[in-house]
A = this chain, B = another copy of it.
Amino acid sequence: MRFNTVTIKDIAKALGLSTSTISRALRGGYEISEETKKIVTAYAEKINYHPNPIALSLKERRSYSIGIVVCEIANNFYSQAIDGMESVAYTAGYNVTITQSHERFDREVLNVEHLASRSVDGLLISLSSESSDVSYLKNLHNQGLPIVLFDRVTDEIDTHKVIADNFKGAFDATEYLIQLGHKKISHFTSSAHLSVTGERLEGYKAALKKYDIPFNTDYIKYCELGGSNQEEIDKATKEILALKECPDAIFFAQDKLSAGCLHAIKKIAPDYFSGIKIAGFTNSTVVDLFNPPITAIRQPAFEMGQAAMELLIQLIESKKPVTEFETRVLHTELIINNPNQ
């Protein structure tokens, strides 16, 4: 720490040995006698010596720290994923630096470059809803920075990826709504160039098709800002409520959209509340307490975080350059929340 930071030199001076001897004794070099080792380790223990990680980073050209970029930590999916990442990282001796893009491209770039320049050993990233151009990431990746993408991925970068089975999750949820008797199912989703948006939309479409329900573009609402802007959601909500064939169910692609839309309905057309059925992607632990209840498509966020971190560390610690990449697809779970009582 800042004050009396005790270094290897202090030990050397106190014991009348050279710094190299101390260094080797501490890390068990074969060339140091057992006796000296004992003296050194005992003294190091006594004065509470810890090697300076900054100096090590400079020398070894690595930091044993890993950068994480998500759009919002205040989203259960991401905070659970981060928990998974942390659990793997800590046992492997890495620490993590978490940053948020707040769904903004410029913040994402800033964060990534900051992390890269601070010599993180690798990067775990889920793209912001504004990120259509990922060339800045590609450059970094080409320069040799190990990157693993999760959740919101891109084909532009050839590396490991960890995603949920968004197609099937969306399909299951839509099918569930259909089986309840709904045919007029709206779909609220986020920015069109996000990988998850496309996959979830396709799952929705496939379920409709299976039950011969025509696909109606009026029912699809893209909220570019992914729920961070309530006005955008209000507008979309008004639009679907104004349709002559007003939907009787909504399928949400994002956690924040469902909450935002419920707020909008409550504000705009509170009497509409009782009839509507809602399903959506969310990892919230409290949606079962909602009124109306929300049927949840739950992603294995913790496991996704674990998998992503495992793949990244594998990449970092690989001796030879890795050229074979895998995309892990984890299953979602449909959690049906019936009305209270």
Which residues in A have some Cβ–Cβ distance to B below 8 Å?
Answer: 1-5, 50, 52-55, 57-58, 61-63, 65, 72-74, 76, 79-80, 82-83, 86, 95, 97-100, 114, 116-119, 121, 140, 143-145, 259, 262-263, 266, 270-271, 273, 284-286, 288-291, 340-341
Contacts and interface: CB of A to CB of B under 8 A. Distances in A.
Contact of A63 (B5, B50, B54, B114): B54
A262 B86 CA distance: 30
A58 B63 CA distance: 13
Contacts of A263: 288-289
A97 B100 contact: no
Contact of A145 (B1, B53, B116): B1
A220 B145 CA distance: 54
Contacts of A52: 58, 117, 119
B286 A259 contact: yes
Given A2-B119, A2-B143, A54-B54, 13 more contacts: A2-B61, A2-B62, A2-B144, A53-B119, A54-B63, A73-B82, A74-B80, A259-B289, A263-B289, A266-B340, A273-B340, A289-B290, A289-B291
B82 A95 contact: no
A73 B68 CA distance: 14
A144 B4 CA distance: 9
B74 A79 contact: yes
Contacts of A144: 1-3
A210 to B, nearest CB: 31
Contact of A58 (B54, B79, B98, B145): B54
A86 B100 contact: yes
B341 A270 contact: yes
14 contacts: A2-B61, A2-B119, A2-B144, A4-B143, A53-B118, A54-B119, A72-B79, A73-B79, A73-B82, A74-B79, A79-B79, A95-B97, A266-B288, A290-B291
Most chain B CB atoms below 10 A, which of A54, A114, A117: A54
Contact of A118 (B3, B54, B98, B140): B54
Nearest to A270: B341
Contacts of A145: 1-2
